[in-house]
Each structure stands twice: as C-alpha cells, then as structure tokens.
Structure 1
C-alpha cells in the first residue's frame, strides 16, 4: 500500500501520465466517433441491410487493418526504449523500418483480400442485398489500406518518442474529416453505403500525409544519423520482426473473436448483426478511451526500461492502473443508465433498437472485465515482451471457443456471454504472466 500511495501522490508521474494519456484519449475517441457517425448516418437510411452492410464490410476491413496493429505496438516499445537511451540513430532506422513494412504489407493484402472476400462472405451467409453492398464497401475501403498501415507506424513511433500531440493531430484530422465527408457524401450527395466508404479512404490518406510531416519535424530533435546499409541486413530487422510476429498472432486471435461475433450475428439475421454492431461501437468507445492510458503506459514504461529506472516503472504502472479503473467504472455507469439513448442515437430502425436494448447489460459489464487487459498490454508493449501477450491471447481464445460453441443455444445472449468470458480470461492470464515476470525480477534485470 505504501508504494501505491507514493505513486498516486507523486505529482511528476501524474503529470507525465496525463501529458501522454490526455491527448491520446482525445485522439483515440475520434476513432469510434467515425464508426458511430457511420452507424448513425447509414442507420437512418430506410433499410436494415444498408446498416448491416456497413457493419459487415467495416468489420472485415477492421479485421484486416487491426491485424497489422503490430506496426504501431511494436514500433512504440522499441522507439520508447531508444528514446530512453537517447539513441537518435536507432529512432531513424526504426521509423524507416515501420514505413517499409507498412507499404509491403498493404500491397500484399490488397492482392490477397479480393479473391478471399467471397469466401468470407459465404461463411456469414448474408442476404443478397447485404452481400452486394458489403462487397462494394470493402472494395472501396481497400484504396485507403496503405495510408491506414503507414499511420499505424507513424503514430507508434511518435508515441514512443513521448510525443502525444502529433498522434492527436493525425487522428483528429483524419477522423473529423471522415465525419464531415460522411455527412456530405451519404446525406448531401446521396451516395449511400459507397459514400461512407469513400469518406474513410480520403480521411486515411489525409492522416498519413500529415503524419509524415510531423514525424520529419520530430526526428530533427534527436542527434544522430541513420545507418541505412543496416536496413539491408537481416540482423537489424530480426528484433522488430520477432516482436511484430508475436503481436500479429495475438491480434489475429483477437480479431478472429470479433469476426466470429459478426459471422454468428449475421446468421441470426440482419437486425441482429446490425444491433451487435451498435453495441460493439460502445466497446470501441470504451477501448479507445482506456487505450489512451495504456498508450501512456507503453511510452513511460519503455522509457523507464531504457533508462533502467525501476521506481519510474512502478509509479507509472500504479498511476495508470488507478485511473483506468476509475474510467472503466464511468463507462459501465454510462451504458447502464444511458445505454438506450446511446443506441437510439445511432438508429431509428425499431427491430434493431429492440435487440440492442435487450443486450445493454452485457455492454455495461464489459469495461470492468476488459480494462485490465488494455492496461497490461501497455506494460508488455513498452517492455517489448510480445511473446507473453501472444500466449495469453491464444490461451484465452482456446478456452473461450468451446464455451461459445456450448452457448450457441442461447442465441445472441449466448454470444455475448461467451465474449464476456473471453475478455475476463484474457485479463486474468495477462495478470498472471505479469506477476510471474515481476516475481522473477525480469522487467529490469539486475546488472551483473
């Protein structure tokens, strides 16, 4: 308790956490804002299959993009540690590696997704109208994929250098532009579902271009020159690729969970998949807000590890943890007492509202179970310990999958119960792994 009290009362740590978390929370909240606006705009079109198409197409695109979230997470940890060491050359090389990876992966995915799309949609068994609109939506969104992946690398690198204002500018610019274009294209020009897709593409490219400008400014603050010939050697890529491989497998398992929710919801009907999309917007809102604190922890823990400062590491973890708990309680209360307003704001389709209202209790419980996994992800990312994150996610997935199968008879309620169990397992397994590393003194090994 003394260490907790010391951390909470340590004003410099509080300032450091909020100097990073504040801008990141604001920027992160702009991400689900786009999904909320998409749902609200398309949800007020006359047919449920139009909202369902955005839900299905958006879920598949999110599965694709978020699967490569390692471009942000892996970059942040290494950049934070290089910043803690004051290594400007490593920061330059890391930025180049992140952007090269983003470009190569975007090209590869664009070549693979189009032929695989019919297979994925066949698994969902959507109606004919929903199927056609979802295909059109996703084909358009693929034009923004290079920019989306480049933005991941840029935001991760900037956050690792403890610059949270630049990611704020990138995300706010991209997402507010997305909202404005969404309203214009869908309602003003009557482009329907395609208009929502084109709004996202233009916004993603705007964010990526701004990120390049901001990264160029930031890198000038660090002395040193990049060793460009090293980029041709496998040894210089191995640490980043090893971490990225583990984060990729971890993220793939997580996105598979969201894909399964969409697949099962689609099989239960257009109204059910649309209602689940509205509820998951609540999860996105919660996750992106709480991730602001986790992102702060990534940067501060990585910096503390680079500087080998155990006290700073412990203080950052306690302060971010307490604020995360308080925020999760706030979100739980929001969905419990104002959940119907939250759903009604997104759609006026009666069948969709009825299903979503019936499942609000599950959404209210979710932040209390999920908050610990978000926080601990920040610790593991800052420490570039991706293997433990991967193992925890795969184990939670393996334990949750048979439970989801067993609960199928309960319909959509069973789907949500299985999802809650998965998030709880994820948090518990990560906590056990963090405790084991701490007991062995592994976060900052003793000097020999």
Structure 2
C-alpha cells in the first residue's frame, strides 16, 4: 500500500505560486520588444527582419525541448509530495545533463540548422545575412537556455516560485540591459542583440546552479548523494524519455495550430494577417497571466499525487479553476474595453486598426474558452499524464483544422477565429473527460 501524506490546499497556497509566476512570465514579451526596438531604431529593415526571424527560429527549436521545464516540474512536485529526502535531485540532474547535451548538439549542428531555417523561411539577401549573424551568436547560449529550463522546472516543482521569478528577471534583465548597451552604446548591431540574450541565459544559469548547490550543501554533497546506478536506472530513464517524447509531440501540435492560424490569415491578405497577429499577441499576453494559475495547479496537483492524498488534489483542481475563471473574466473584459486603445498603439495603419477592432469581441472571448485548457495543462503536467496531453492536443488539432476547413470558406476570418475557439473548447473537454476517468486510479491504494 502506498503511504499517504495528508495536507491542505488553500487560496493562499495557489497565489503563493501563481503571483510570482505571473510576474515572471509577463517579462518574456518585454525582452523581445526591447530587442526589436533597439534594432528597429538603427533604421535598417533587413537587420530588424533578421532579429525577428532569428528569435522565431530559436523559439521554435527551444519549444521542442520545453519538456525539460514542465517534465522536471511535474516529477519534482511528485517527489516533494512523496517526502523524497533528496527533493527531486535525481530528476533535476537528469534534466540538466540532457539539456546540456542537447544544447551542445545545437552548437555542433549550427550550420545545418541555419541552412534548414533559411530554406523554410526563405528570407531576402539582407535579412538572410542578418539572420546568420544573429544565429551564430545566439546558438552559443543554447546549452544555458536548456539548463535554465531544467532549473526552473526544479524550482517551480518545489513551489519556490519566487526563486523562479528572480531567475527569469535575471534572464530578461541582463538581456534588456545588454541589448541596449551592446547595440546602442557599442554599435554591435544584430550581434549585440544576440549576445545580450546569451549573457542573460549564462547569468541566470550560473546563479540558479549556485542556489541549487547551496540547497544541497555544495557540489561534493550532490556527488555523494547521486549514485550512477540510480541516475541511469533503466525504468527512470524510460519514464523520463517517454515523458519527453510525448511533451515534444504536444509542443509540435501546439506550434502547428498557431502556424496554421497565421498561414490562413496570410492567405486572406496583409491587413487580415496584421490584425490577427495583433489580436493573437494580446491573447498571448493574457496567456502569461493564466500560466501563473496553471503553474500553481501543476505544483499542487503533482504534490498531491506524490503524497497520495486525493482531497488535496480535488482542492487544487477546484481552486485553480475558480481563480482561472475569475482572471479570465477580468482579463477578457479588460481586453474588450481597452483593446481599441492598445491596437492603436501597436499599429498606425487605419485599415489594420479598423479590421482588428471589428474582431475584438470574438477574440476577447478566447480568454474564457481557453481558460479550462490552460488549467488542465497544469494539472496534467503535475500528475505527469503525458499521454493524455499528447493525445488531447493531437485530437484538438484535428478539430481545429476541421472547423477551419469548413467555416473559413463560409465566414472568412470569423470562421478562422471560430476554429480557434473550437480548438480551446475541444482541449478542455478532452482533458476534463480523461481526468474524470483516471483520477480515481491515480490515487488507488
């Protein structure tokens, strides 16, 4: 019989994790905005295009390794709930090793990766040159970026959301300051923007590793506590790589949905593409706030599973949904009423402004339809239900493409946004149904 470790989940427990996570996540788009601004002020559209495409390439590549962050968080939260005296040390060390190796592999394969990116994106000559300058600097930060994924997963899995917030502040703070100094002060251009990002990742990984070493009493203590036989245990490695595989497939399906949405908008025309991009970016900003609640659901549900205490799981489920709904309503109304002003700040083209405002209400409704999917993502990550996440994302992608295929020819851009709503709703329903079926088995004696 599995031992049980009872504990309670209260509103304060949710917000102790959610609030610093929300603050940390919202700094991510700010760093990208500063990079684009400092390069944009140089007055060369090719340089700006190279930075935008370079950031896109790394966002896509690194998103495929995001399992290092969410997988480590779920496994660590379960270890904490099960009273693991090592606080999930083995999970963290495995993730750090895998992240470092993948990052080194990216450096070794930098040339073919850049060639593939250029073939897929087909930039003009000026943009292609700027993309190469950005890529060959930024790729040196790949190992540190992936090490930070593992560290953040370990800290968030242990409910140390404030430490995770500080590390993300370090990443983006050094990036922002470095980009301004290197580009505007030293005139390094695209290379300066890339180097600022690399310095941010290096600084955060050094500090994060120091904090981790301090928690265990130094490197010698970690070496003494990690046995190679346990670290490379076949069952544990199989579980880790199975989790990684499923979360990677889930990330690919997620990226494919947004790529399809953007591609269909592009086919309708430049105005439609620009307006949809603005509205989608507003959705992403709300998503950063919702990620904080998902982070709380992830840690608390994972801890409950590790503790084998279903009452705590049910409370975490209930409170996360309640606060998710409250945030969704508040953010949705804010998006709708302040949207016209934000849109006018983001673009000066009157046709794009008018078209975006025309679809503002339908887009703002996403804050409600995507809320359950976000919270369920957190719960499923915390309980490492990776197969459910993978299959649910693939099934909902099929729903999205099917609705878009039927509705867009009839209703144009309205049909495309309806397909996005169908995607969110389908994910929520699939995850709800799957959790209803398996939750009793998760806590079986």
TM-score bracket, shorter-length normalisation:
0.7 to 0.9
| Pair 1:153–1:189, CA change in 2 (3 A) | same
- Please state whether the residue corresponding to 2:367 is helix, strand or coil: helix
Match of 1:420 in 2: 421
Deviation at 1:282, TM superposition (A): 2.1
Residues 1:115 and 2:112 aligned together: yes
1:81-132 CA distances to partner (integer Å, 9 max, x unpaired)?
Answer: 1111221347221111010110122233344564244444444555554454
1:226-268 CA distances to partner (integer Å, 9 max, x unpaired)?
Answer: 2233224423312222222211111121122233445555666
| Number of residue pairs aligned between Structure 1 and Structure 2 | 435
How many angstroms apart in 1 are the aligned matches of 2:394 and 2:415?
21
Residues 1:283 and 2:280 aligned together: no
Match of 1:434 in 2: 435
Match of 2:369 in 1: 369
Match of 1:150 in 2: 147
Match of 2:337 in 1: 337
- Please state whether the residue corresponding to 1:442 is helix, strand or coil: helix
How many angstroms apart in 1 are the aligned matches of 2:131 and 2:381?
34
- Please state whether the residue corresponding to 1:302 is helix, strand or coil: helix
The answer to whether the 8 A contact 1:43-1:348 is kept is: no
How many angstroms apart in 1 are the aligned matches of 2:128 and 2:405?
25
The answer to whether the 8 A contact 1:90-1:226 is kept is: no
How many angstroms apart in 2 are the aligned matches of 1:200 and 1:99?
20
Deviation at 1:322, TM superposition (A): 0.8
How many angstroms apart in 1 are the aligned matches of 2:170 and 2:422?
36
How many angstroms apart in 2 are the aligned matches of 1:426 and 1:251?
14
Match of 1:83 in 2: 80
1:404-430 CA distances to partner (integer Å, 9 max, x unpaired)?
Answer: 445665776655443333223222221
How many angstroms apart in 1 are the aligned matches of 2:128 and 2:39?
16
Q: How does 1:212-291 map to 2 (within 5 A)?
A: 212-220=209-217, 225-263=225-263, 276-291=276-291
Deviation at 1:393, TM superposition (A): 0.4
Deviation at 1:285, TM superposition (A): 1.7
How many angstroms apart in 2 are the aligned matches of 1:413 and 1:187?
42
| Pair 1:225–1:120, CA change in 2 (3 A) | closer
Residues 1:94 and 2:91 aligned together: yes
Deviation at 1:323, TM superposition (A): 0.8
Which residue of 31, 35, 44 corresponds with 1:34?
Answer: 31
Match of 2:297 in 1: 297
The answer to whether the 8 A contact 1:126-1:266 is kept is: no
The answer to whether the 8 A contact 2:9-2:315 is kept is: no
| Pair 1:229–1:436, CA change in 2 (3 A) | closer
| Pair 1:338–1:199, CA change in 2 (3 A) | farther
- Please state whether the residue corresponding to 2:21 is helix, strand or coil: helix
CA RMSD of aligned residues (A): 3.3
- Please state whether the residue corresponding to 2:365 is helix, strand or coil: helix
Unaligned runs of 5+ in 2: 1-6
1:140-171 CA distances to partner (integer Å, 9 max, x unpaired)?
Answer: 33222111111111111111112112101100
Unaligned runs of 5+ in 1: 1-9
- Please state whether the residue corresponding to 1:88 is helix, strand or coil: coil
Deviation at 1:275, TM superposition (A): 5.4
Deviation at 1:326, TM superposition (A): 1.0
Match of 1:103 in 2: 100
Deviation at 1:174, TM superposition (A): 1.1
Deviation at 1:395, TM superposition (A): 0.7
How many angstroms apart in 2 are the aligned matches of 1:271 and 1:197?
30
How many angstroms apart in 1 are the aligned matches of 2:190 and 2:376?
37
| Pair 1:92–1:131, CA change in 2 (3 A) | same
How many angstroms apart in 2 are the aligned matches of 1:376 and 1:28?
18
How many angstroms apart in 1 are the aligned matches of 2:369 and 2:164?
27
Residues 1:390 and 2:390 aligned together: yes
| Pair 1:363–1:376, CA change in 2 (3 A) | same
- Please state whether the residue corresponding to 1:86 is helix, strand or coil: coil
Deviation at 1:380, TM superposition (A): 1.0
- Please state whether the residue corresponding to 2:171 is helix, strand or coil: helix
- Please state whether the residue corresponding to 2:72 is helix, strand or coil: helix
How many angstroms apart in 2 are the aligned matches of 1:284 and 1:261?
14
| Pair 1:264–1:346, CA change in 2 (3 A) | same
Deviation at 1:325, TM superposition (A): 0.9
